[in-house]
Structure 1
Amino acid sequence: MTESLEHTGPDPIVDVTGAREVADDLVVIPNHGVQLVPNVGVIGGAHSVLVVETGMGPRNAEAVLKFADEYAKGRRLYLTTTHFHPEHAFGAQTFAGEATYLVNGAQAEDLAAKGDGYLHMFRGLGASVARQLEGVELRAPDVVYGEAHDLDLGGRVVRLRATGRAHSRGDQVVTVPDAGVMFTGDLAETGQFAIFPWFPPHDTDVSGTRWIAVMRRLAAEAPRVVVPGHGDIGGPGLLADVRDYLELLRDETWARRDSAASEETIVEEVRALMIERHPEWAGREWIERGVGCLCAEHPDHDPDGSHAE
C-alpha cells in the first residue's frame, strides 16, 4: 500500500439502523458512504436467511449477526461473501456455529493464500482500521462450491456464481432472481473509480480485460436492483457505467501504450482524462493502479493471449 491509500475517513463501522427493504423479505444495510464499509445484504426465504458480507472484523460482524438473527426469527442462517477482502469477509469468525459459511473455490483459495497478507496490509492503513481488525481470526468456509451454487432458502432460490478473475480471482455475484436483485461486491461501485487491487509483486490477480468481460455479461442480465460493493444502490445503468468506464480506461491506456509513451506519461494523461469525465467520483488513487494493470495486460505484454474480452 502507498500513503495515498491511507484511510482518513470515519471509522469503518457498519450502521445497521439504516437497513432498507429493496424487495419482499430482502433488506440491505447500506454503507452510508463510509469508506471500507460494504453494503450488507440479508435475504430471507421460508426456512432460511442468507447474509451477504460480514463487515470488517469481529465487532462489525457481531452487529450484522445480531441484526440477521433478529430478522431471521428462528430461521436457519447462511453466510456468503462476494470476495475475500477484509471489509467484506474478515468477520466470518463471528458467524461460526451460528451460520453456514459458503463461497466459491477460488475465493476460498484467495483467503487461504492471501488473507494474512491483506490483514497485515489493512492494519497499516491507519488506527481506525487497525481497531476494527483487532482479534481477527481467518475462518475457512464450511461449504466450497465450484463455479455455481443454487441456495434454497425455502420458496426462494439464491444464485451464487463465481465470475472468474476480475476485481479478484475469486469474485462472486449473488443474484435473487424472483426479486431481480444482484449483489456485485467490488465488481461495481457507485460514484467512485473502479478499485484495482494492483500491488505488484504481492498481488496482481486483478484483471481489467476479464473485468470488462464480466461487466458485459452482468449488464446484459439487466437486474432491477443492483447492490454494489460500496455506494448507493442502483439499477442496471450502474453496471453499464462501470463497463463503459473500464472500456474507456483500457482504450485510452492501450492507445498510449501503442504510441510508446512511458507509463508515467500514460498515468498522467489517462488520470486527467478520467477525472475530467467523472469529476464527482471518489477514489482517484485507483486510476493509476488501473493503468498499471492494463499496461501489463496490453497484448504486447501477454504473449500467451490469455487476456479475454
Structure 2
Amino acid sequence: MSDYPYADPIVDLADVQELARDLIVIPNRNVDLVPNIGLIGGTHSVLVVDTGLGPRNAEQVLRFASSYANGRRLYLTTTHFHPEHAFGAQVFADEATYLLNTAQADDLTTKGEGYLGMFRQLGEPVARELEGARIPVPDQTYDGTYGLDLGGRSVQLRPTGRAHSKGDQVITVPDAGVLFTGDLAEADQFAIFPWFPPYDVDVSGVRWIEVMDRLAAERPQIVVPGHGEVGDAQLLTQVHDYLVELRDETWRRRDSGLSEETTAAEIRALMIERHPDWRLPEWIERGVGCLCTEHRH
C-alpha cells in the first residue's frame, strides 16, 4: 500500500464556525479527504450535510449533531457520493432520515464499491478510516428540488445535473443566504476532476462551467465549499473562471494538434504559474484529460 503524504483524514470538532442563526460548519481545516460539514437547525429538526470519511469520523459527527440537536429530529444529506462526503452515512441509520437525490443514489449503487476499493489503496490512514465502511442506502430519494421544513426554516436540496459527478446536489438556506456546494467548489485549490477512465468518466468540465454560471448568478451571501475556507459568491466566480481557463487552454492546444500528454504538461506548468498559492495541482492533468474528450473541433 502506498504511503499517504497528507495529514490523517480526521474530522476535528475544534473551531466550529457559526455562519448564521442555528447554522454551523465543522471546518475541514484544509485537511485532505476531510469535507466541510454543515448543521442547519430549525425549531423541530436539524439537517446534517456530509459525514466525513468512514464510520469513525461519522460517529464523531453524529455525537456532535445529537448534542447540537438537543432532542430535535435529525436529517442527513450528502452533496455527492464520494467517500469523504457520504461513506459514513451508515452510522446515522437509526438516528437520522437520510435524504438523497436519485442520481446520487444511483452513483452509490453503481460506483460505490469501486470507490471504496480505490480509496482503501490510497494509504494506511485512509484504509483505517474506511474499516467497516458499507455503501450507504438512503431512506428517501427525490428528483427535482426538495424542500425540507426544519421548523421555521426551509432548506432546499437541489440536484445540479452532471458536473463534478453525475449526482451532485447543492443545499441552500434561503433565509441565511447560505449555499453548500460540495466539490463543485473548493477554496484556493485546483478543481477536483475525478477522471478515472474507464471506471468513471462522468465528470464533465463543460457542464461544470454551466452549473457554476447558474450558481454564481444566484449571488449567495455565504458559500460553503466542499473543501477549504468558507467564502462568498466570489468563490463561485473564481471556480467558474478557472474551469473556463482550463477549457480554453486545453482546446487551444488540441486545435493546434498537440498531443494530450504535451497539452497536460504545458497546462500544468501554466496553471501553477497563474495560481501559485493553490493546493493539489495533481488534479490539473485529470481536468485536461476530461476536457480533451469534450473538445469541440
- Give me the whole-angstrom Cα distance separating, in 2, the residues matched to 1:140 and 1:192: 31
- Give me the whole-angstrom Cα distance separating, in 1, the residues matched to 2:68 and 2:87: 22
Q: Give me the TM-score of the superposition, normalised by structure 2.
A: 0.98
Q: Which residue does the alignment assign to 1:197?
A: 194
Structure 2 unmatched ranges of 5 or more:
none
CA RMSD of aligned residues (A): 0.8
CA offsets per residue over residues 160-207 of structure 1, 9 Å max, x none? 000000000000000000000000000000110000000000000000
Q: Which residue does the alignment assign to 2:43?
A: 46
SS of 1:87's partner is: helix
- Among 214, 217, 224, which residue is 2:214 paired with? 217
- Give me the whole-angstrom Cα distance separating, in 1, the residues matched to 2:90 and 2:5: 27
- Give me the whole-angstrom Cα distance separating, in 2, the residues matched to 1:147 and 1:134: 34
> Contact between 2:37 and 2:48, CA under 8 Å: does it hold in 1?
yes
Paired positions, count: 296
Q: Which residue identity lines up with residue 182 of structure 1 in the other structure?
A: L
Match status 1:124 vs 2:127: no
Q: Which residue identity lines up with residue 65 of structure 1 in the other structure?
A: L
- Give me the whole-angstrom Cα distance separating, in 1, the residues matched to 2:109 and 2:248: 34
> Contact between 1:48 and 1:153, CA under 8 Å: does it hold in 2?
yes
- Give me the whole-angstrom Cα distance separating, in 1, the residues matched to 2:280 and 2:8: 17
Q: Which residue does the alignment assign to 1:32?
A: 29
SS of 1:193's partner is: coil
Q: Which residue does the alignment assign to 1:307?
A: none
Structure 1 consecutive aligned stretches of length 4 or more whose deviation exceeds 4 Å: none
Match status 1:272 vs 2:269: yes
Q: Which residue does the alignment assign to 1:16?
A: 13
SS of 2:103's partner is: helix
Q: Which residue identity lines up with residue 295 of structure 1 in the other structure?
A: C
- Give me the whole-angstrom Cα distance separating, in 2, the residues matched to 1:270 and 1:10: 28
State the shift of 1:281 in Å. 0.5
Q: Which residue does the alignment assign to 2:250?
A: 253
CA offsets per residue over residues 91-128 of structure 1, 9 Å max, x none? 00000010000110000000000000000000000000
Q: Which residue does the alignment assign to 1:305?
A: none
Q: Which residue identity lines up with residue 69 of structure 1 in the other structure?
A: S
SS of 1:276's partner is: helix
Q: Which residue does the alignment assign to 2:180?
A: 183
Q: Give me the TM-score of the superposition, normalised by structure 1.
A: 0.95
CA offsets per residue over residues 134-180 of structure 1, 9 Å max, x none? 00011210010012101000110000000000000000000000000
Alignment of 1:57-96 (within 5 A): 57-96=54-93
> Contact between 1:101 and 1:142, CA under 8 Å: does it hold in 2?
yes
Q: Which residue identity lines up with residue 263 of structure 1 in the other structure?
A: E
- Give me the whole-angstrom Cα distance separating, in 2, the residues matched to 1:260 and 1:147: 41
- Give me the whole-angstrom Cα distance separating, in 1, the residues matched to 2:122 and 2:16: 28
Q: Which residue does the alignment assign to 2:104?
A: 107
Q: Which residue identity lines up with residue 61 of structure 1 in the other structure?
A: A
SS of 2:14's partner is: helix
Aligned-pair identity in percent equals 69
- Among 262, 279, 283, which residue is 1:282 paired with? 279
- Give me the whole-angstrom Cα distance separating, in 2, the residues matched to 1:111 and 1:135: 16
- Give me the whole-angstrom Cα distance separating, in 2, the residues matched to 1:168 and 1:237: 22
Structure 1 unmatched ranges of 5 or more:
301-309
- Give me the whole-angstrom Cα distance separating, in 2, the residues matched to 1:195 and 1:73: 36
- Give me the whole-angstrom Cα distance separating, in 1, the residues matched to 2:218 and 2:61: 29
- Give me the whole-angstrom Cα distance separating, in 2, the residues matched to 1:153 and 1:7: 40
- Give me the whole-angstrom Cα distance separating, in 1, the residues matched to 2:89 and 2:119: 17
> Contact between 2:86 and 2:136, CA under 8 Å: does it hold in 1?
no
State the shift of 1:17 in Å. 2.1
Q: Which residue does the alignment assign to 1:157?
A: 154
